[in-house]
Structure 1
């Protein structure tokens, strides 16, 4: 940009003495690219009667959906929009139409169902790996499923293997059978709420219950309006536990156990001594009575974090990850079918695990669709978000990604790196 005087008199009349630089963010419509694949056909000039295939043509490049219209980047975009940004298919339909692409919601839905079959072995491998963790965190939330007369209530479950995987499952009932399908064969600590659907797991001794202090705290919050003095005392003691936890958040296991013995155990002992003292004085079925009774009933499980430094004080990690489905539910309202629920949980598991490991989801899914179709099944766990950063450094993965023509097109458009 030149001043008016310089434009009128010319650069020869002035001496440049510096410059001022500023930047402005702008936006342009998204870029949809049609990749035309040209495969020349050849025949020998001198006919070879022994050649069973006289016409020579290169094999078509591998696609996530065989002979599908969409490439890896386009498919990844529809998935990120649907389950990361919570954009229902009818809204995606209108968004792509504004960019000049007439794409029906039924087509997108069909793509996702086919891709679900592709990624299911990977997510199942992630679940098997998660069940080897020393402790797991779990929770559930309701969801509606379309039925012939009226929507039926069903449930999403989340299972978090800290620092490894975030996994989701779907069931029609919130019962022990659903828990068994999700946690079959698991042995270790289970951080969960006090719902009875988990009780049978603890009876065997293979699974050890760990209760959540955030749940206990919630009961005392509900009692603030009716019995503020007692509720505030209970909350103050629980607050002390969380203050200690913040101070050792990144500490190694032994340090956490030592600090909990020195600082947290006296608070826990004081809290339950106070609960026992107040229990006889509060009126039955009042909010404060329910708060104290909940804590007393969960005493053993609530104190379990004191014996193992790996265990968390609360189950908030499960609730945070369930918000992903809750936010989605506010947009798409209900599931269309059981198959739709399966597709949902598979891709939400991958997206939530990407967030856990700080991986950009679109680039991950694009690259996953580039390599997964021909990736050795025995090594499928290497493609999980937990291992992705290491896997991408391997020569095998780099060669596969570099050879993918569709990925090369998206990189030419300066796609964001993982």
Structure 2
């Protein structure tokens, strides 16, 4: 049960994943009062997935010959190191993404089937317990968020493409092929980022529905409150299990995603430092597009991490929402029993997202992310200043010969 605007937004997410072969199989997403169907997987789509992933891997070859000889990178060992690191992260992202899809294809298709059954099962709860206007407001806000994320991602790609073109030392067919290879990886990164953001939107929608259903249940006084509370508890538990399965399946791919986001931000800020001290020459248009790249990159990254934190918080705050039932003057024993069971389940099962089971992503991690980015840029600046302060070899020899002649 999706609002038409949210349904259209999810169709955009679906087509991003479909074009870049990020699906285990093809789906058909319907909007208001319609279901989501799982279509039969065709061998053509499998061949297309192999072809696309192989093309993205082969594109990495075109990055090396010209990029190392570019005018702005050949004299800076830090930029060369950043280039090799970013190339390695692109390879890791491709392996993590398509490796997950190929190795865990059956599990992903099983997840699709369970998710569709889950939507059909709890459709009656949406109609009976949730106010239509509140649900509409929730889904319109989620549709706006995902459209904003798509626009910000493509704006970041556009600004990055312009900057990459201006950084070309010589414009010829080899440098343009290298630029085209980078752009193809940019679009793959955008597609995977948008796909994961769309999954977070769906999870946030379901946890938001749980909160809306609890609000509606608090105002009810009929005899069906016990069965309604049991349905809400079942919906929350199955959404919780669904979120854990999604995070577990996409663990390696998401680790590559967030690592690429971190290193991309560091690389962008370090290039900004090079532009500001005129180590890399640029025009006024280059400065404008560079500032736009910094702004939109941070904007998109913060939106992703904020949505992830919101999903986790929305799941874990159901226990706080259940406290509103303590102010009811009279409740039946059966209702109190179901309420206690629901509270204990929420307390024992908290949703936590960790990258490879090591780094937990939440609001403190977001602040640590910003601090780590700035720290890395400052460290790179120190190396850059030290390198610039050292006398060049030809200057030293000229001074030595002058002192000898004197």
TM category, shorter: under 0.3
Structure number with higher helix proportion: 2
Structure number with higher strand proportion: 1
Given the two structures, how large is their TM-score scaled by the length of structure 2? 0.21
Higher Cα Rg: structure 1 or 2? 1
Given the two structures, how large is their TM-score scaled by the length of structure 1? 0.21
